[in-house]
Structure 1
Amino acid sequence: MIKNKQWTGGIDEEYETQHFGFGSQCLKIAVRQMVEQKIINGVKDMESLLLDSLLLNETDKAILTKSCDKLVRLYCERAGPSFDVVDNEIERILTVPSNVVLPGDEYQLDQFTDSEYEKLKEEVADLRKRVERGALMEALLKAEEEELSTVDKVCETAKKDMDVLDLLSKNSETNSKSVLSETMFLSASVNLKQKSDFDFY
Protein backbone atom coordinates (compact mmCIF):
# COMPACT_ATOMS: atom_id res chain seq x y z
CA MET A 1 0.00 0.00 0.00
CA ILE A 2 0.97 3.66 -0.26
CA LYS A 3 3.30 4.74 2.51
CA ASN A 4 1.88 7.71 4.34
CA LYS A 5 4.22 10.21 5.88
CA GLN A 6 3.51 10.49 9.57
CA TRP A 7 1.91 13.73 10.69
CA THR A 8 4.38 15.68 12.83
CA GLY A 9 2.65 19.04 13.18
CA GLY A 10 4.87 22.01 13.92
CA ILE A 11 4.63 25.78 13.71
CA ASP A 12 4.25 25.87 9.92
CA GLU A 13 1.46 23.30 10.03
CA GLU A 14 -0.31 25.26 12.76
CA TYR A 15 0.03 28.51 10.83
CA GLU A 16 -1.29 26.90 7.64
CA THR A 17 -4.20 25.42 9.57
CA GLN A 18 -5.07 28.84 11.02
CA HIS A 19 -4.92 30.40 7.57
CA PHE A 20 -6.53 27.74 5.34
CA GLY A 21 -8.36 25.51 7.80
CA PHE A 22 -5.98 22.61 7.09
CA GLY A 23 -2.23 22.09 6.90
CA SER A 24 0.01 20.77 4.13
CA GLN A 25 0.87 17.60 6.05
CA CYS A 26 -2.81 16.74 6.48
CA LEU A 27 -3.45 17.41 2.80
CA LYS A 28 -0.56 15.18 1.71
CA ILE A 29 -1.89 12.31 3.83
CA ALA A 30 -5.43 12.86 2.50
CA VAL A 31 -4.23 12.88 -1.14
CA ARG A 32 -2.35 9.60 -0.61
CA GLN A 33 -5.41 8.00 0.97
CA MET A 34 -7.67 9.19 -1.86
CA VAL A 35 -5.31 7.91 -4.56
CA GLU A 36 -4.93 4.57 -2.80
CA GLN A 37 -8.70 4.24 -2.51
CA LYS A 38 -9.14 5.07 -6.21
CA ILE A 39 -6.57 2.43 -7.19
CA ILE A 40 -8.22 -0.20 -4.99
CA ASN A 41 -11.72 0.64 -6.25
CA GLY A 42 -10.61 0.59 -9.91
CA VAL A 43 -8.83 -2.76 -9.64
CA LYS A 44 -11.69 -4.30 -7.62
CA ASP A 45 -14.20 -3.11 -10.23
CA MET A 46 -12.06 -4.71 -12.93
CA GLU A 47 -11.84 -7.92 -10.89
CA SER A 48 -15.62 -8.03 -10.44
CA LEU A 49 -16.17 -7.44 -14.15
CA LEU A 50 -13.77 -10.25 -15.08
CA LEU A 51 -15.33 -12.64 -12.57
CA ASP A 52 -18.81 -11.89 -13.91
CA SER A 53 -17.94 -12.03 -17.60
CA LEU A 54 -15.59 -15.04 -17.61
CA LEU A 55 -16.55 -18.54 -16.63
CA LEU A 56 -13.74 -19.32 -14.21
CA ASN A 57 -13.28 -22.20 -11.83
CA GLU A 58 -12.35 -21.63 -8.18
CA THR A 59 -8.61 -21.93 -8.83
CA ASP A 60 -8.71 -19.32 -11.59
CA LYS A 61 -10.81 -17.03 -9.39
CA ALA A 62 -8.22 -17.29 -6.60
CA ILE A 63 -5.40 -16.57 -9.06
CA LEU A 64 -7.32 -13.57 -10.43
CA THR A 65 -7.88 -12.19 -6.91
CA LYS A 66 -4.18 -12.60 -6.03
CA SER A 67 -3.17 -10.97 -9.30
CA CYS A 68 -5.48 -8.02 -8.65
CA ASP A 69 -4.08 -7.59 -5.13
CA LYS A 70 -0.57 -7.68 -6.57
CA LEU A 71 -1.60 -5.10 -9.17
CA VAL A 72 -2.89 -2.80 -6.40
CA ARG A 73 0.42 -3.08 -4.54
CA LEU A 74 2.36 -2.44 -7.75
CA TYR A 75 0.32 0.67 -8.58
CA CYS A 76 0.78 1.99 -5.04
CA GLU A 77 4.54 1.42 -5.13
CA ARG A 78 4.94 3.04 -8.53
CA ALA A 79 2.92 6.06 -7.43
CA GLY A 80 5.70 7.06 -5.00
CA PRO A 81 7.71 9.36 -7.33
CA SER A 82 4.53 11.10 -8.44
CA PHE A 83 3.66 11.82 -4.82
CA ASP A 84 6.98 13.63 -4.38
CA VAL A 85 5.94 16.00 -7.16
CA VAL A 86 2.47 16.40 -5.63
CA ASP A 87 4.01 17.05 -2.18
CA ASN A 88 6.26 19.77 -3.56
CA GLU A 89 3.30 21.42 -5.27
CA ILE A 90 1.20 21.28 -2.09
CA GLU A 91 4.02 22.85 -0.08
CA ARG A 92 4.50 25.55 -2.71
CA ILE A 93 0.81 26.45 -2.63
CA LEU A 94 0.11 26.17 1.09
CA THR A 95 3.29 27.48 2.69
CA VAL A 96 2.50 30.78 4.39
CA PRO A 97 5.33 33.28 3.81
CA SER A 98 7.17 34.45 6.91
CA ASN A 99 6.20 38.08 6.25
CA VAL A 100 2.46 37.31 6.35
CA VAL A 101 0.74 37.95 9.68
CA LEU A 102 -2.65 36.39 10.30
CA PRO A 103 -5.39 38.60 11.81
CA GLY A 104 -5.22 36.67 15.07
CA ASP A 105 -1.51 37.40 15.40
CA GLU A 106 -1.53 41.10 14.52
CA TYR A 107 -1.31 42.10 18.16
CA GLN A 108 2.12 40.43 18.28
CA LEU A 109 3.48 43.06 15.90
CA ASP A 110 3.62 45.47 18.83
CA GLN A 111 6.33 44.43 21.24
CA PHE A 112 6.14 45.75 24.81
CA THR A 113 8.89 46.64 27.25
CA ASP A 114 8.79 45.38 30.83
CA SER A 115 7.58 48.74 32.13
CA GLU A 116 4.80 48.85 29.52
CA TYR A 117 3.85 45.30 30.41
CA GLU A 118 3.65 46.21 34.11
CA LYS A 119 1.53 49.24 33.25
CA LEU A 120 -0.82 47.03 31.24
CA LYS A 121 -1.05 44.61 34.17
CA GLU A 122 -1.98 47.50 36.47
CA GLU A 123 -4.64 48.67 34.02
CA VAL A 124 -6.08 45.17 33.83
CA ALA A 125 -6.11 44.91 37.64
CA ASP A 126 -7.81 48.31 37.86
CA LEU A 127 -10.41 47.28 35.29
CA ARG A 128 -11.00 44.04 37.17
CA LYS A 129 -11.60 45.99 40.40
CA ARG A 130 -13.99 48.32 38.61
CA VAL A 131 -15.91 45.36 37.23
CA GLU A 132 -16.10 43.82 40.71
CA ARG A 133 -17.30 47.13 42.17
CA GLY A 134 -19.87 47.40 39.39
CA ALA A 135 -21.12 43.88 40.13
CA LEU A 136 -21.33 44.69 43.84
CA MET A 137 -23.18 47.94 43.13
CA GLU A 138 -25.59 46.08 40.87
CA ALA A 139 -26.28 43.54 43.62
CA LEU A 140 -26.89 46.33 46.15
CA LEU A 141 -29.21 48.18 43.78
CA LYS A 142 -31.17 45.00 43.13
CA ALA A 143 -31.54 44.41 46.86
CA GLU A 144 -32.65 48.01 47.36
CA GLU A 145 -35.10 47.71 44.49
CA GLU A 146 -36.59 44.58 46.05
CA GLU A 147 -36.82 46.37 49.39
CA LEU A 148 -38.52 49.37 47.79
CA SER A 149 -40.98 47.13 45.99
CA THR A 150 -41.79 45.54 49.37
CA VAL A 151 -42.29 49.00 50.92
CA ASP A 152 -44.53 49.96 48.00
CA LYS A 153 -46.62 46.87 48.59
CA VAL A 154 -46.89 47.68 52.32
CA CYS A 155 -47.91 51.28 51.51
CA GLU A 156 -50.48 50.07 49.03
CA THR A 157 -51.91 47.67 51.60
CA ALA A 158 -51.97 50.43 54.23
CA LYS A 159 -53.74 52.76 51.80
CA LYS A 160 -56.37 50.12 51.13
CA ASP A 161 -56.78 49.62 54.89
CA MET A 162 -57.17 53.39 55.36
CA ASP A 163 -59.81 53.49 52.63
CA VAL A 164 -61.67 50.69 54.37
CA LEU A 165 -61.42 52.51 57.73
CA ASP A 166 -62.67 55.74 56.14
CA LEU A 167 -65.57 53.87 54.66
CA LEU A 168 -66.35 52.22 57.99
CA SER A 169 -66.06 55.55 59.76
CA LYS A 170 -68.49 57.20 57.36
CA ASN A 171 -70.86 54.27 57.70
CA SER A 172 -70.63 54.39 61.49
CA GLU A 173 -71.31 58.16 61.49
CA THR A 174 -74.30 57.63 59.24
CA ASN A 175 -75.47 54.72 61.38
CA SER A 176 -75.03 56.67 64.62
CA LYS A 177 -76.97 59.62 63.16
CA SER A 178 -79.77 57.34 62.04
CA VAL A 179 -79.77 55.59 65.44
CA LEU A 180 -79.85 58.98 67.19
CA SER A 181 -82.68 60.23 65.03
CA GLU A 182 -84.59 57.00 65.55
CA THR A 183 -83.97 57.23 69.28
CA MET A 184 -85.16 60.80 69.35
CA PHE A 185 -88.18 59.84 67.33
CA LEU A 186 -88.99 56.99 69.68
CA SER A 187 -88.46 59.11 72.77
CA ALA A 188 -90.61 61.84 71.26
CA SER A 189 -93.25 59.26 70.49
CA VAL A 190 -93.10 57.96 74.06
CA ASN A 191 -93.38 61.49 75.46
CA LEU A 192 -96.38 62.21 73.28
CA LYS A 193 -98.04 59.03 74.35
CA GLN A 194 -97.42 59.78 78.01
CA LYS A 195 -98.81 63.28 77.59
CA SER A 196 -101.84 62.03 75.76
CA ASP A 197 -102.43 59.39 78.42
CA PHE A 198 -102.07 62.00 81.12
CA ASP A 199 -104.43 64.35 79.37
CA PHE A 200 -106.98 61.61 79.05
CA TYR A 201 -107.17 61.03 82.77
Structure 2
Amino acid sequence: MELSEEAATTAGDPAEPGTVRPGGRTARVRAAVLRAAGDTLAEQGFHQLDLAEIARRADVGKTTVYRRWGTVAGLVADLLTDMAEQSLPRTETGSLEEDLLANAELVRRTLTDPRQGALFKAVIAAATADGRTAEALHRFYEVRVAEWAPCVREAVERGELPEGTDAAEVVRAVSAPLYYRFLTTGEPLDTAAAGRAARAAVAAARAGAFVREPGHG
Protein backbone atom coordinates (compact mmCIF):
# COMPACT_ATOMS: atom_id res chain seq x y z
CA MET A 1 0.00 0.00 0.00
CA GLU A 2 1.05 3.61 0.53
CA LEU A 3 4.72 4.06 1.46
CA SER A 4 7.23 6.71 2.38
CA GLU A 5 10.63 6.91 0.75
CA GLU A 6 12.69 6.60 3.94
CA ALA A 7 14.41 3.32 4.74
CA ALA A 8 13.83 1.87 8.17
CA THR A 9 16.53 1.97 10.81
CA THR A 10 16.09 -1.38 12.49
CA ALA A 11 17.75 -4.77 12.38
CA GLY A 12 16.83 -8.28 13.42
CA ASP A 13 18.15 -11.80 13.64
CA PRO A 14 17.87 -14.32 10.80
CA ALA A 15 14.93 -16.13 12.40
CA GLU A 16 12.70 -13.07 12.66
CA PRO A 17 14.18 -10.02 10.94
CA GLY A 18 13.22 -6.54 12.01
CA THR A 19 12.45 -7.29 15.66
CA VAL A 20 15.43 -5.49 17.22
CA ARG A 21 16.11 -1.77 16.94
CA PRO A 22 19.78 -0.90 17.38
CA GLY A 23 21.10 2.23 15.74
CA GLY A 24 24.37 3.35 14.22
CA ARG A 25 26.15 1.19 11.67
CA THR A 26 23.70 -1.71 12.09
CA ALA A 27 20.81 0.53 11.08
CA ARG A 28 22.73 1.89 8.10
CA VAL A 29 23.60 -1.63 6.93
CA ARG A 30 19.97 -2.72 7.14
CA ALA A 31 18.79 0.36 5.29
CA ALA A 32 21.33 -0.18 2.50
CA VAL A 33 20.52 -3.88 2.12
CA LEU A 34 16.75 -3.35 2.10
CA ARG A 35 17.09 -0.55 -0.41
CA ALA A 36 19.16 -2.82 -2.66
CA ALA A 37 16.64 -5.65 -2.25
CA GLY A 38 13.74 -3.36 -3.10
CA ASP A 39 15.50 -2.00 -6.17
CA THR A 40 16.32 -5.50 -7.40
CA LEU A 41 12.75 -6.68 -6.86
CA ALA A 42 11.38 -3.70 -8.76
CA GLU A 43 13.84 -4.05 -11.62
CA GLN A 44 14.19 -7.82 -12.01
CA GLY A 45 11.61 -9.65 -9.92
CA PHE A 46 11.76 -12.10 -7.02
CA HIS A 47 13.58 -14.88 -8.81
CA GLN A 48 16.57 -12.64 -9.51
CA LEU A 49 17.14 -11.94 -5.83
CA ASP A 50 20.48 -13.32 -4.68
CA LEU A 51 21.96 -12.53 -1.28
CA ALA A 52 25.50 -12.25 -2.59
CA GLU A 53 24.40 -9.84 -5.32
CA ILE A 54 22.36 -7.82 -2.84
CA ALA A 55 25.42 -7.56 -0.60
CA ARG A 56 27.51 -6.34 -3.53
CA ARG A 57 24.89 -3.83 -4.57
CA ALA A 58 24.53 -2.52 -1.00
CA ASP A 59 28.32 -2.45 -0.53
CA VAL A 60 27.99 -4.74 2.49
CA GLY A 61 29.92 -7.91 3.30
CA LYS A 62 28.30 -11.15 2.18
CA THR A 63 28.84 -12.69 5.59
CA THR A 64 26.84 -9.91 7.22
CA VAL A 65 23.92 -10.41 4.85
CA TYR A 66 23.87 -14.20 5.18
CA ARG A 67 24.18 -14.03 8.96
CA ARG A 68 21.46 -11.46 9.45
CA TRP A 69 18.85 -12.55 6.88
CA GLY A 70 19.82 -16.14 6.11
CA THR A 71 17.61 -16.60 3.04
CA VAL A 72 15.98 -14.58 0.29
CA ALA A 73 12.61 -15.22 1.93
CA GLY A 74 13.97 -13.81 5.21
CA LEU A 75 15.19 -10.71 3.41
CA VAL A 76 11.87 -10.15 1.66
CA ALA A 77 10.03 -10.63 4.96
CA ASP A 78 12.19 -7.92 6.53
CA LEU A 79 11.66 -5.65 3.52
CA LEU A 80 7.89 -5.95 3.96
CA THR A 81 8.22 -5.26 7.69
CA ASP A 82 10.17 -2.13 6.83
CA MET A 83 7.60 -1.06 4.24
CA ALA A 84 4.78 -1.42 6.75
CA GLU A 85 6.68 0.59 9.37
CA GLN A 86 7.45 3.37 6.90
CA SER A 87 3.99 3.60 5.31
CA LEU A 88 2.28 6.94 5.54
CA PRO A 89 -0.18 7.47 8.42
CA ARG A 90 -3.90 7.76 7.82
CA THR A 91 -5.62 11.01 7.00
CA GLU A 92 -8.25 12.21 9.49
CA THR A 93 -10.76 14.68 8.03
CA GLY A 94 -13.78 14.02 10.21
CA SER A 95 -15.67 12.63 7.22
CA LEU A 96 -15.69 8.95 6.32
CA GLU A 97 -15.90 9.62 2.59
CA GLU A 98 -13.01 12.09 2.66
CA ASP A 99 -10.91 9.76 4.80
CA LEU A 100 -11.45 6.83 2.45
CA LEU A 101 -10.89 9.00 -0.61
CA ALA A 102 -7.52 9.90 0.90
CA ASN A 103 -6.80 6.21 1.48
CA ALA A 104 -7.74 5.30 -2.08
CA GLU A 105 -5.58 8.06 -3.50
CA LEU A 106 -2.56 6.96 -1.45
CA VAL A 107 -3.02 3.39 -2.63
CA ARG A 108 -3.33 4.61 -6.22
CA ARG A 109 -0.18 6.73 -5.99
CA THR A 110 1.78 3.82 -4.52
CA LEU A 111 0.70 1.36 -7.19
CA THR A 112 1.37 3.79 -10.04
CA ASP A 113 4.80 4.75 -8.75
CA PRO A 114 7.31 3.12 -11.15
CA ARG A 115 9.44 1.61 -8.38
CA GLN A 116 6.82 0.79 -5.80
CA GLY A 117 4.31 -0.58 -8.29
CA ALA A 118 6.88 -2.93 -9.78
CA LEU A 119 8.01 -3.98 -6.30
CA PHE A 120 4.48 -4.86 -5.23
CA LYS A 121 3.89 -6.90 -8.37
CA ALA A 122 7.07 -8.86 -7.70
CA VAL A 123 6.24 -9.50 -4.04
CA ILE A 124 2.64 -10.51 -4.75
CA ALA A 125 3.84 -12.91 -7.43
CA ALA A 126 6.41 -14.38 -5.04
CA ALA A 127 3.81 -14.79 -2.30
CA THR A 128 1.83 -17.19 -4.47
CA ALA A 129 4.67 -19.70 -4.32
CA ASP A 130 6.59 -18.93 -1.14
CA GLY A 131 4.93 -19.39 2.24
CA ARG A 132 7.18 -17.09 4.22
CA THR A 133 6.78 -14.29 1.70
CA ALA A 134 3.01 -14.80 1.82
CA GLU A 135 3.01 -14.55 5.63
CA ALA A 136 5.08 -11.37 5.49
CA LEU A 137 2.75 -9.88 2.89
CA HIS A 138 -0.25 -10.73 5.07
CA ARG A 139 1.38 -8.98 8.03
CA PHE A 140 2.10 -5.94 5.87
CA TYR A 141 -1.56 -5.57 4.94
CA GLU A 142 -2.72 -6.26 8.50
CA VAL A 143 -0.60 -3.31 9.66
CA ARG A 144 -1.94 -1.02 6.94
CA VAL A 145 -5.57 -2.00 7.49
CA ALA A 146 -5.16 -1.48 11.24
CA GLU A 147 -3.77 2.00 10.56
CA TRP A 148 -6.89 3.07 8.65
CA ALA A 149 -9.58 1.12 10.53
CA PRO A 150 -10.07 3.88 13.16
CA CYS A 151 -11.49 6.12 10.40
CA VAL A 152 -14.36 3.66 10.07
CA ARG A 153 -14.82 3.12 13.80
CA GLU A 154 -15.00 6.89 14.30
CA ALA A 155 -17.65 7.07 11.56
CA VAL A 156 -19.71 4.50 13.46
CA GLU A 157 -19.37 6.62 16.61
CA ARG A 158 -20.52 9.71 14.66
CA GLY A 159 -23.56 7.82 13.40
CA GLU A 160 -22.40 7.74 9.77
CA LEU A 161 -22.41 3.94 9.69
CA PRO A 162 -24.48 1.19 11.35
CA GLU A 163 -23.38 -0.30 14.63
CA GLY A 164 -21.40 -3.50 14.15
CA THR A 165 -19.73 -2.39 10.93
CA ASP A 166 -16.49 -4.31 10.39
CA ALA A 167 -13.92 -1.54 10.01
CA ALA A 168 -11.23 -3.75 8.51
CA GLU A 169 -13.58 -5.03 5.81
CA VAL A 170 -14.50 -1.48 4.81
CA VAL A 171 -10.84 -0.51 4.44
CA ARG A 172 -10.14 -3.64 2.39
CA ALA A 173 -13.11 -2.82 0.17
CA VAL A 174 -11.44 0.46 -0.79
CA SER A 175 -8.19 -1.17 -1.91
CA ALA A 176 -9.64 -4.31 -3.51
CA PRO A 177 -10.84 -2.81 -6.82
CA LEU A 178 -7.63 -0.81 -7.15
CA TYR A 179 -5.46 -3.91 -6.78
CA TYR A 180 -7.73 -5.83 -9.16
CA ARG A 181 -7.37 -3.13 -11.80
CA PHE A 182 -3.62 -2.90 -11.16
CA LEU A 183 -2.98 -6.64 -11.47
CA THR A 184 -5.49 -7.82 -14.06
CA THR A 185 -6.11 -5.04 -16.58
CA GLY A 186 -4.11 -2.63 -18.66
CA GLU A 187 -6.45 0.21 -17.83
CA PRO A 188 -5.08 3.34 -16.15
CA LEU A 189 -5.21 3.44 -12.38
CA ASP A 190 -6.30 7.07 -12.24
CA THR A 191 -7.91 9.39 -9.71
CA ALA A 192 -11.35 8.54 -11.09
CA ALA A 193 -10.80 4.87 -10.29
CA ALA A 194 -9.66 5.76 -6.78
CA GLY A 195 -12.71 7.93 -6.26
CA ARG A 196 -15.08 5.20 -7.42
CA ALA A 197 -13.47 2.66 -5.12
CA ALA A 198 -13.81 4.90 -2.08
CA ARG A 199 -17.38 5.98 -2.83
CA ALA A 200 -18.48 2.41 -3.51
CA ALA A 201 -17.04 1.27 -0.17
CA VAL A 202 -18.78 4.12 1.65
CA ALA A 203 -22.13 3.40 -0.03
CA ALA A 204 -21.90 -0.30 0.79
CA ALA A 205 -20.92 0.43 4.39
CA ARG A 206 -23.81 2.85 4.85
CA ALA A 207 -26.17 0.22 3.47
CA GLY A 208 -24.98 -2.24 6.11
CA ALA A 209 -23.04 -4.54 3.79
CA PHE A 210 -20.15 -4.78 6.26
CA VAL A 211 -22.13 -5.25 9.47
CA ARG A 212 -20.77 -8.32 11.27
CA GLU A 213 -23.18 -11.18 11.67
CA PRO A 214 -23.84 -12.32 15.24
CA GLY A 215 -21.10 -14.64 16.41
CA HIS A 216 -18.54 -13.37 13.87
CA GLY A 217 -15.86 -11.00 15.18
Tell whether the structures are fold-level matches, with TM greater than 0.5: no
Tell me which structure has the larger Cα radius of gyration. Answer: 1
Greater per-residue helix proportion:
1
Which TM class, normalised by the smaller chain length? under 0.3
- Structure 1 length as normaliser, TM-score? 0.23
Taking structure 2 as the reference length, what is the TM-score of the superposition?
0.22
